[in-house]
Structure 1
Amino acid sequence: MHSTRNKLLHLLAQSEFISGTELGAQLGISRSAIGKHIDAFKQLGLDVFSVRGKGYKLSEPLSLLSHDTISDYVQAQLSHEKYRQIPQPLYLDVLNVVDSTNTYIKQNIAQLSQGASCIAEAQSAGRGRHGKQWISPFASSIYLSMYWRFSGGYQTLSGLSLVVGLAVNRTLNHFGITDGQLKWPNDIYINMQKIAGILIEVEGSVGDEVHCVIGLGLNVNLPDDITGIEQPFTDLQSHSQPTMINRNHLTAQLILDIQHALIIFEKSGLSSFISEWESLNVFADKDITLIIGQQSVQGVCMGIDPQGALRVMVDGEIKTYHGGEISVRAR
């Protein structure tokens, strides 16, 4: 984002009226230039009030991401035994608008250290599984991607998305959200509504070092008029009233919990997480439909196997299904 535009956004972030004259004086630009920047904010989905004689203000206070605040929070937690093995120092890029945080990590992967992450206020081309668009309004959610390198080839990654989902749910617990559930293989739900999704992209070969980009989209405080989401959804703020979610603290805790889980996963694989995952399985013992390409399979969800494959009772026989292009739906 243009540096002047970024400064203007910070001035408006407290949601109090400030005149165009005052804004122009602080930023060293004309009132007409202020108006053009305001139009750009509106295109990002920000609701900006403009009242003659008063000036401009955002419709509600805006919590912007801060590298220093996130870093300070992480550093304060590293003294805890639980987090002492987390890679240091924290490598984090805080971006305003990016096409995709996963793409950003992939483009810079050659120079990244273990655990390097980026987070953005908005994505212009965010994506989920099956190439679907991830709706990414400005300063309304967490759009986070992390680099993690595994030795041992693809076979060491079985169940990775399940582990990341568990880590995200642990973060929700930390913020008082205790009714989260997990949908195989990569979603977090509350009351049968999606609150977060995970996209893992992998580069490497069998038996060789594998480079993973772990992407997370977590709804925090979505606009009331948001469109384009094709399934039931919710956000953290809806379950945290009246407390306002601090996205900087949330981001820091996500980084801590995800990296802590990844370190354990590297050492012991999925086995350390299966029991916890099963206790949070949103479809446990429920009738489900699997969509596999143009085909569908109906059965009863029986949990996961030691490799993280989904176990389904189909016509009296338990069958296992691995990730890829499979979608799971209630029926």
Structure 2
Amino acid sequence: MSENKYKQHTLKLEIIKQLSDGQFHSGEELGEQFGISRAAISKHIKGIQQWGITIHRVQGKGYQLSQPLDLLNAEVIQQASSVPIELIPIIDSTNQYLLNTMGDKPSGSVCIAEYQSQGRGRRGRQWQSPYGSNLYFSMYWKLESGVAAAMGLSLAIGVAIVDALQGLGAQDIKLKWPNDLYYQDKKLAGILVEMSAQTGGEAHLVIGMGLNIDMQIDQEVIEQPWANLNQVFQGALPSRNEIVIALIQAWHTVLEQYEVQGMQGFVERWNALDNFKDKPIKLIMGDKEVHGIGKGINAQGGIVLQTEQGLETYVGGEISLRKA
């Protein structure tokens, strides 16, 4: 997103900061604070609501969020991190931003956002991205071992996310092949690995994640059952800044390990976290379906099924895994 586009949102972002405490703020008070009319405040509030924030207006009291917002703080995150952090509150897509700008960034650079207007998941699906409710997080990584080694990367990153969340006290988080995190059979997070280019023996990758933290959207809006991290922590949720810091550290640890060991270093750990281990599943490949019992992944990161023909392995591409 261009700097000019960001500037036009500055006032809205300041209003959100004021409202983030969950208290009432009158239009008059906000207008005085920002040097604009109450009518202008009302117009900005309408714009903010389009970002997925619920704001109530009560006559005589003013505006109030449906619940307080735990906003990200770039300074806090940067102080605890050894890599460059960019917080761009309103963005098209954190992955696309890093794909466009990675040329002048060191490996490990991170972009986080409060809201994505064009967040995307696997196979071009849109990722629902309401402001301040979830985590939209991408990292640029220069994979020294090259593009062939990148095949199992989303599996290793899944393990890294579980490591980070378990370190904060989360339990019962599982993995779904090839790129999702699950809690109680519902989707908690998705991973998207995209490659920009290869130079010499290096692959230039952007690894993105959308993590549901406290999303207040009707279940029907999203095509599959989903869970919030708030449910995992049963209301005792760490701050979003703590979550980002833990994720950055875990991703770095796992990516450095992946450079040395490749996918083989993660097979046992991934299989221990497999949400569909020993359960009936089906793989959907275009018009074709394969039914079997999930048997985890192999050393190359392929999904293994026990079928009537015996053990069969399927690798990436346009394959969807579903509960049978």
* Bucket of the pairwise TM-score, normalised by the shorter protein: over 0.9
* 1:158 alignment partner, SS class: helix
- Aligned partners of 2:42, 2:85: CA distance in 1, in Å? 32
Find the aligned partners of 2:91 and 2:219 in 1 and give their Cα distance. 19
Q: Cα gap change, 1:97/1:227 in structure 2, threshold over 3 Å: closer, same or farther?
A: farther
Rounded Cα–Cα distance in structure 2 between residues aligned with 1:287 and 1:206: 42
- Hey, what does 2:88 align to over in structure 1? 95
The partner residue of 2:268 within 275, 296, 306 is: 275
SS of the residue 1:200 aligns to: strand
What letter corresponds to residue 267 of structure 2 in structure 1?
Answer: I
Q: Which residue of 1 is the match for residue 15 of structure 2?
A: 8
1:285 Cα shift? 1.6
Aligned to 1:78: none
Instruction: Tell me what 1:64 maps to.
Output: 71
2:283 is paired with a residue whose SS is strand
**Alignment of structure 1 residues 109-188 onto 2, 5 Å:** 109-188=102-181
Structure 1 distance, partners of 2:242, 2:181, is: 19
The one-letter amino acid paired with 1:33 is: A
Per-residue deviation, residues 195-220 of structure 1 (Å, max 9, x unmatched): 00100011335973101110101000
Shift of 1:151: 2.1
1:118 alignment partner, SS class: strand
Q: 2:288 aligns with which of 292, 295, 318?
A: 295
Shift of residue 225, structure 1, vs aligned partner: 3.5
Do the aligned partners of 1:287 and 1:298 also contact (CA within 8 Å) in 2? yes
Which residue among 213, 227, 248 is the counterpart of 1:255?
Answer: 248
The answer to which of 40-49 and 212-221 deviates more is 40-49
Q: What residue in structure 1 maps to residue 53 of structure 2? A: 46
Q: Normalization by structure 2: what TM-score? A: 0.94
Q: Which consecutive residues of structure 2, in runs of 5 or more, have no partner in the other structure?
A: 1-5
Partner of 1:315: 308
8 A contact 2:121–2:127 mirrored in 1:
yes
Distance in 2, Cα, partners of 1:305 & 1:148: 24
- C-alpha displacement of 1:295: 0.9
Matched residue SS, 2:178: coil
Q: Distance in 1 between matches of 2:278 and 2:61?
A: 58
The gaps in structure 1 that reach 5 residues or longer are 75-87
Taking the aligned partners of 2:293 and 2:63, their CA distance within structure 1 comes to: 55
* Residue 72 of structure 1, CA deviation: 2.6
1:282 is displaced (CA, Å) by 1.0
Q: Deviations over 1:193-247 (max 9, x none)?
A: 1100100011335973101110101000011436521011100112223324411
| Residue from 51, 55, 58 that aligns with 2:62 | 55
Q: Is residue 15–residue 57 contact of structure 1 (8 Å, CA) maintained in 2?
A: yes
Letter of the 2:71 partner, please give it.
L
- Distance, in Å, in 2 between the alignment partners of 1:292 and 1:309 is 14
1:100–1:125 contact (8 Å) kept in structure 2:
yes
Aligned-partner SS, 1:168? helix
Query: 1:183 Cα deviation (Å)?
Result: 0.6
Task: Give the % identical residues.
Answer: 41
1:118 Cα offset (Å): 0.5
User: Helix, strand or coil for the counterpart of 1:8?
Assistant: helix
Code of the aligned partner of 1:39: K
Q: Give the Cα separation in 2 of the matches to 1:66 and 1:272.
A: 34
> Distance between the aligned counterparts of 1:47 and 1:25, measured in 2?
23
Q: TM-score, normalised by structure 1?
A: 0.92
Segments of 4+ moved more than 6 angstroms? none
Asked whether the 8 Å contact 2:219–2:226 carries over to 1, the reply is no
- The one-letter code matched in structure 2 to 1:50 is R
Question: CA offsets per residue over residues 102-134 of structure 1, 9 Å max, x none?
Answer: 111111111111111101111111111111111
- Is 1:19 the counterpart of 2:26 in the alignment? yes
Distance change (3 Å), C-alpha of 1:209 and 1:233: same
Aligned twin of 2:3: none
255, 265, 273: which one aligns with 2:258 = 265
User: Structure 2: which amino acid aligns with 1:220?
Assistant: I
Residue 104 of structure 1 pairs with residue 97 of structure 2: yes
Secondary structure of 1:261 counterpart: helix
